[in-house]
Chains A and B, each alone.
Chain A
Amino acid sequence: MTALLEAYDLVKHFPVRDAIGRKRGAVHAVDGVSLSVAAGETLAIVGESGCGKSTLGRLLLGLIPPDEGQVRFGGEELTQLSPAALRARRRDMQMIFQDPYASLDPRQTVQDAVAEPLRLHRIVPRAGEIARVASLLTRVGLSPEHARRWPHEFSGGQRQRVAIARALASGPRLILGDEPVSALDVSVQAQVIELLRGLISEMGLAFILISHDLGVVRQIADRVAVMYLGRIVEEGPSEALLAAPRHPYTRALRAAVPGGGRRAAPVSGDVPSPINPPSGCRFHTRCPHVEDICRSVVPPLADGVACHLADRLPPFAAVVDRQPNARLVRLQSRFRPQGDAA
């Protein structure tokens, strides 16, 4: 597979200033990240708050310039494009945000919201707009009559469907979803996950999912990159990575997900501040396996994991969650659309 989007050694620091404007340090939001996504592939970027995953997303779409490094989309270097050329490129790269209440304009009808990208990129003549919006709305599980309504008339799940229709309008090749289902109730979340999964595979889209929720990630993503304080600490195929995580941080993340009975909290303390992050391996302040080398030397991402001790760590003690029993599986199958195999 050839990569559609490639990023090399991205660095983004935000200066921190005191009350009178003196520079007092920098937030190391993204610190040397390389990754790639192919057409038809879903890559998840996972991490806790402040790990830099949203900043990385913005860098990948060229919404903010990196301090160092490059982003290539379809072989073209985004950082070299003129502002006008970059805007034209946006047609190919769209974004879905966490909160559809905030990302939709309350004074725009659904018709106008979904038609806006069509106009902006002159995709269909004005006369064809209504039909195009109707087909987009149908595609995301809404009905063409919804076009005349206003965002406030919709539930959270329906609003997110409108946001997805709007993202699809320009016929993008890549979509980035920044926590696209995190604000939704679990039953609605399941519907939107299934919708996204279907659209991605039918349309052959490249999809970048930014999420803190490993369950959602497993449901949608082919590959996962785990971030901690601005760096990727582990990367690999999602199924293998979640079943047998190698980096101590990924292991902690996996073990912390509730669902398998009372377990001791896997790590202590909070994520340190990204202003003046820890030296060496940034996880060393919380890592149960820490050794001297971890405090001073930055571990490179090699063979999918950035840990000095990767070869020597004990095997991951598999986390066993409650399994649904046969009766529950049978009963739950009634909640799937008829004739839908698993």
Chain B
Amino acid sequence: MTPALAVTGLTVSFATDRGVFRAVDGLSFSVAPGETLAIVGESGCGKSVSSLAIMGLLEGNARVGGDLRLAGQDLLAMTPEARRKLRGADMAMIFQEPMTSLNPAFCAGNQIAEVLALHRGLSRHAAYEEAIRALDQVRIPDARRRAAQYPHQLSGGMRQRVMIAMALACRPKLLIADEPTTALDVTVQAQILELLDELKRETGTAIVLITHDLGVVADHAEQVVVMYAGRAVETAPGEAIFTHPEHPYTIGLLGAAPRLDGPRGRLASIEGTVPDPMHRPPGCGFAPRCPFAVAECTVTDPALTMLAPGHAAACLLAPLEAA
């Protein structure tokens, strides 16, 4: 089966006053229809830049390399105009803060209808009726009444549902969700994540979920890519990232998150800070902070190496310890 999205050797660099800054360096993954792939990492690791590069939403000073294929179509070979037509139709994106993504001057129904009129050529009336169906599909009760409301009249969770309805209105092959629940309360977060799971089963849309929350990942993603300083350091099936992480960074991240059960011990501490992207150290980018690092780690740059089916880590020492 052709993957909904195949990313091979994606690089993104920005020309700045201080020189060229490589934000993403050789990222590869693919997502099948109806599957969720999560990209996890901390601020500045390149996860959002990667998603903007896939969508074709980066500014002019960004240089994007590698190979991006949406259901087999070569995205980087397309004209800007052709890519613009794909956005909203075959690929869509939702963001952290729905209030800044919605236009406060239009009611929810009209904003969704605009997408349908533009990409599917529906008449105004037909598009609005279809928008109500889209709101119904994201489990908004009393969709017809809600469609006539403006963003400020909706709660945060409801606004994110409107964004999802808009993103999925044209049945895209790919939905990129960049921290879709970070601004929401935890009880609402649970509802939105459940909704995304149901919708991908119903529609076959592939989801790329960008998040910093490893708990969300393990519960909702079939595959995970852990990014550190612009690179994928580990890729694994969702469950395995918890049961058998291989990269020291992943292990540290898991230990740094406070848990709600088990002994209340000291949290793991990843000392130091992310390397300056302009002065990347030789060898492994995580070596200066890694408690496992040996001399060779500061010399040899580790490649992503397959350890088990679907599970790879970029660490010279992997597998770390036979379980």
Contacts and interface: CB of A to CB of B under 8 A. Distances in A.
A149 interface: no
B252 interface: yes
Interface string B16-42: 000000000000000000000000001
B219 to A, nearest CB: 5
Interface in B278-323: 291-292, 320-321, 323
A321 B242 CA distance: 11
B215 A257 contact: yes
Contact of B269 (A260, A270, A336): A336
Contacts of A259: 215, 218-219, 259-260
B268 interface: yes
Contacts of B215: 257-259, 321
A255 to B, nearest CB: 8
A120 to B, nearest CB: 32
A342 B262 CA distance: 13
Interface stretch (A77-85, A110-118, A184-192, A297-305): A184-192
B101 to A, nearest CB: 18
Interface in B260-280: 260-270, 273
A265 interface: yes
A191 B267 CA distance: 8
A332 B243 contact: no
A271 B185 contact: yes
Interface in A40-67: 48-49
B251 A48 contact: no
A19 interface: no
Interface string B169-208: 0000000000000000111111101100100000000000
Interface stretch (A24-32, A171-179, A274-282, A323-331): A323-331
B194 A265 contact: yes
B261 A335 contact: no
B55 to A, nearest CB: 24
Contact of A328 (B251, B260, B270): B251
B155 interface: yes
B43 interface: yes
A261 B219 CA distance: 4
Nearest to A320: B261
A327 B246 CA distance: 11
Contact of A335 (B185, B257, B270, B273): B270
B144 interface: no
Nearest to B195: A265
A48 B185 contact: yes
A254 interface: yes
Contacts of B190: 255-256, 258, 263, 265-266
B87 interface: no
Given A265-B191, A270-B156, A328-B245, A334 B292 contact: yes
A212 B185 CA distance: 8
A194 interface: yes
B273 A155 contact: yes
- Interface size class, chain A: 35 or more
A335 B273 CA distance: 14
Contacts of B243: 322, 325, 328
B212 interface: yes
Given A191-B269, A253-B186, A327-B321, A218 B264 contact: yes
Contacts of A322: 218, 242-243
Contacts of A323: 261-262
A342 B263 contact: yes
A155 B215 CA distance: 25
Interface in A183-223: 185-191, 193-194, 212-216, 218-219
> Which of B188, B244, B253 has the most chain A CB atoms closer than 10 A to its own CB?
B188
Contact of B186 (A48, A188, A260, A321): A48
A331 B250 CA distance: 11
Nearest to A331: B251
B187 A256 contact: yes
A262 B267 contact: no
Contacts of A317: none
A149 B47 CA distance: 30
A219 B259 CA distance: 8
A335 B269 contact: yes
B258 interface: yes
B258 A219 contact: yes
Given A257-B215, A266-B187, A324-B255, 10 more contacts: A187-B270, A190-B268, A215-B257, A258-B218, A258-B220, A321-B259, A327-B323, A332-B268, A335-B291, A336-B266
Q: 5 tightest A-B contacts by CB?
A: A215-B258, A259-B215, A335-B268, A258-B215, A332-B255
19 contacts: A156-B43, A186-B257, A187-B270, A190-B257, A215-B257, A218-B258, A242-B260, A257-B260, A258-B216, A258-B220, A259-B218, A262-B197, A262-B220, A270-B155, A320-B261, A327-B323, A328-B245, A332-B268, A342-B265
Interface of B: 42-43, 155-158, 185-191, 193-194, 197, 212-216, 218-220, 242-245, 248, 251-270, 273, 291-292, 320-321, 323
